Amino acid sequence: QVQLVESGGGLVQSGGSLRLSCTTSRFTLDKYAIVWSRLASGKAREGVACIDNRDDTTYYSDSVKGRFTISRDSAENTVYLQMNSLKPEDTAIYSCATDIICAWAVIGREGHVLPSGQIGPWGQGTQVTVAS
């Protein structure tokens, strides 16, 4: 299995924006659902967004809904994560992976993007730091 490559992270002030990219030169991303997740220090990995491979339907965890937008550019073989209105609690390493489907469920009164049992390996990620 091939890791995807993420880029676009950086340091931004609270309220700012970043656009992350996820790509590979090894295969066509259109064949897969793509999941973005984040790993913050001392916390479990959290799925934040997913775009499916049938009609590009998008799914978001409640923690980012309305602020983050996932999109696919087939010509560039890239999936983007546009992050607006960033908060200090968004600070994390953001990674992407292929999956067979997008999964979303309510856990503890909040909606969460979840990896399926066949998710591919997470990329090495890109650091996003939001200063207060």
pLDDT at 117: 79
Q: What pLDDT score does 118 carry?
A: 84
- The per-residue pLDDT for 107 is 93
pLDDT at 87: 98
Looking at residue 2, its pLDDT comes to 82
- Which residue type, as a one-letter code, is found at position 72? R
Instruction: Please answer whether residues 110 and 46 qualify as being in contact, where contact means their C-beta atoms are separated by less than 8 angstroms.
Output: no
* Distance from C-alpha of 92 to C-alpha of 8, rounded to nearest angstrom: 13
Would you state the pLDDT for residue 127? 98
For the chain (132 residues), the mean pLDDT of every run of 10, in chain order, is 93 98 96 97 96 96 98 97 98 96 94 90 96 96
| Residue 54 pLDDT | 93
**Residue 92 burial class via C-beta count within 10 angstroms: exposed 0-12, middle 13-18, buried 19 and up:** buried
pLDDT of residue 1: 76
User: What pLDDT shows up at residue 100?
Assistant: 93
